[in-house]
Amino acid sequence: MSDDNGIQRTLVLLKPDAVARGLTGRVLARFEDALLKVVAAKMVWMDAELARKHYFDLEERFGAEVYQSMADFMQSGPVFALVLEGVEAVPVVRKMVGSTYPDQAAPGTIRGDFAHVSKAYANANKLPVANLVHASGNPEEAAREIDVWFTKEEIFDFSSAAQRYAS
C-alpha cells in the first residue's frame, strides 16, 4: 500500500532467532521511535504452506537447498509478524534493518547491533544466516507479502500521535 503522500505499508518479520533471543520489544521500539506505526501484529509459528507462500520464488532464484534451509529455519520457532506504516516505510525499514549479512551491516542498524553471523560461516556450517529480521524489498513485494500474512480485517487504520510530526 502506498498513497500519493508517500505513506507506505511494509511487512516485517522478526524471525525465530529474534524471538528466541527476546529482542522483539527492542526491535519494535526502534521502528516506533522512527515514527513508523504498527497497523497489524501477530505471533505465528510458520508451517510448510506459509513458508512456501512467503518464499514462493526463493527456490527458483537460489536453488532447493537454500529454500529448504530457509524454510526449516523459519519453521524452527515462532515469528512475530507486523505491518508498519509511515512515510516511505519500505526504504526506511530496509535502511534500519541493515545489510542481509549481519557481519556487513553497519553499526546502528538492527542487524549491525544484534547479529554478527557471516555468509561464509553460515555456508561452511550449512546454517541459514540468522539475521533476525525480514523486511519487504519494495512496495510491490510489501503488498504481496502483507496479503500472505494478514487479512484485511487484521490491519487497522487509525491516527497516531506521531502522525502530526510525519504528515
Catalytic residues: 134
Cα–Cα distance for residue pair 51/89, rounded to 1 Å: 24
CA distance 40 to 142: 13
- Identify which of 57, 69, 66, 86 has the alpha carbon closest to the alpha carbon of residue 167: 86
Rounded CA gap, 19 and 25, in Å? Answer: 9
What is the Cα–Cα distance from 36 to 85, expressed in whole angstroms?
6
Query: b/e map of 124-142 (b: 16 or more CB within 10 Å)?
Result: eeeebbbbbbbbbeebeeb
Cell 501484529 -> residue? 41
> What CA–CA distance (Å, rounded) separates 14 from 49?
19
Q: Any idea what DSSP says for residue 86?
A: E
DSSP label at residue 112? H
